[in-house]
Amino acid sequence: MKIEGLELRWASLPLVGAFRTSFGSESRRDLLLLRLVTDQAEGWSECVAMAAPVYSPEYLDGAAHVIEHVLFPEAAALSDPDVHAVSCAMQRFHGHQMAKAALETSFLDAELRALDLSLARYLGGAVDRVASGVSVGIMDTIPQLLDAVAGYLDQGYVRIKLKIEPGWDVEPVRAVRERFGDEVPLQVDANTAYTVGDARQLAKLDPFDLLLIEQPLPEDDLLGHAQLAKLVRTPICLDESITSAKVAADAITLGACSIVNIKPGRVGGYLESRRVHDVCQAHGVPVWCGGMLETGIGRAANLALASLPGFTLPGDTSASDRYFHRDVTEPFTLENGHVRVPTGPGIGVTPVPEILRELTTETRWLPANG
């Protein structure tokens, strides 16, 4: 495969409603899309970093900078830039998993399109649709939350995840259980908002029979999570902490988690995501696919990953209309609580040109021999 160049494209999409987590409120999704042009096929990807470094240390413009000045020049200089060579070449640079994931995925997509092979088949996907959950933000009042949850259950989502923070934890969970019953698969996500000293408060969630509590403590506190796991009955799931298959293995061995959220951006790409899946599967640890408010480009690839056999819990793989009035691709829809895994070559989707043109705020072309 001969690389001609890489197009970086910035865009911005309004969300259907503000999405509040313990680290802030988002009303737009700023996007960085990549289009790799080769002599055989084009490869699309989406960088999942947020506009500001509030979920993790990465942020969109920082990711664009490291892709332009560090990662892409390294990849473009390879004599045979297949996706594994690109992935290996990027390893000497520390961190920047989301930037690496975006670049690696553009190579993976181009390569698979040239081979006429879908990402799901390439990764080892076993199903043609995946059960989808929905992530529900922190709200101003409990009635607002109950209305939102009622709407999602009506749409057919098979699992509800409530964002929590100190002051918004036991009461919203209790209210959802009282209104919708004990049968609704329910979990919470704290996005690192607690300390191990809050164990007693978090143990108050135990009677509500949650599937899991996601990332209660700071990302670097594996030991704290292991201590907390002994103090609460609700299973602990890690998100922000799991930055590689090695960290997943460490966390499991330490007893810091019994469930893992896999986000390809957070671990550096789909190849590493598969390794995280394999490590967890070998330990009998269930995994599920996280979300970063992706457009159809990132969502398509996540659905392929979520079709692997170790993904036994519903993911944050909601339909496009959970976040966007108009997606950049043909929208993904919910059918009986499930979303279809794309079957076309590569990630299986491309942006709709007119929509993309309308939403784009800036593009930059990086020639391979630049």
163 belongs to the catalytic site: yes
CB closer to Mg ion, 29 vs 113 = 29
**Helical ranges in the chain per DSSP H:** 60-66, 72-76, 83-90, 97-115, 119-123, 142-155, 170-180, 199-203, 222-231, 245-254, 264-267, 270-282, 296-306, 353-359
Q: Binding to ligand SMG by residue 316, rule CB under 6 A?
A: yes
Q: Binding to ligand SMG by residue 21, rule CB under 6 A?
A: yes
**Token reading at 257:** 């988690």
| 175 vs 173: CA distance, rounded Å | 5
38, 56, 241, 318: residue in contact with ligand SMG (rule CB under 6 A)? 318
CB closer to ligand SMG, 36 vs 242 = 242
Sole window of 92-100, 103-111, 150-158, 290-298 interacting with ligand SMG (rule: CB under 6 A): 290-298
CB closer to ligand SMG, 100 vs 263 = 263
Shortest separation between residue 36's beta carbon and ligand SMG, angstroms: 24
Sole window of 5-13, 109-117, 173-181, 288-296 interacting with ligand SMG (rule: CB under 6 A): 288-296
Sites for Mg ion among residues 186-225 (CB under 5 A): 189, 214
Those residues whose C-beta lies under 8 Å from the C-beta of residue 280, and which sit 6 or more positions away, are 248, 252, 260, 286, 287, 310
Shortest separation between residue 262's beta carbon and Mg ion, angstroms: 11
The three-point CA angle 211-217-218 to 5° equals 135
Backbone φ and ψ of 356, nearest 5°:
-60, -45
The three-point CA angle 17-19-25 to 5° equals 120
CB closer to ligand SMG, 55 vs 107 = 55
Q: Binding to Mg ion by residue 239, rule CB under 5 A?
A: yes
* Number of residue whose CB is nearest Mg ion: 239
Backbone φ and ψ of 64, nearest 5°:
-60, -40
Count of residues interacting with ligand SMG (CB under 6 A): 15
CB 342 within 8 A of CB 349: yes
DSSP code of 172?
H
45, 191, 307, 350: residue in contact with ligand SMG (rule CB under 6 A)? 191
263 belongs to the catalytic site: yes
Q: Which residues bind Mg ion (CB under 5 A)?
A: 189, 214, 239
Active site residues: 163, 263
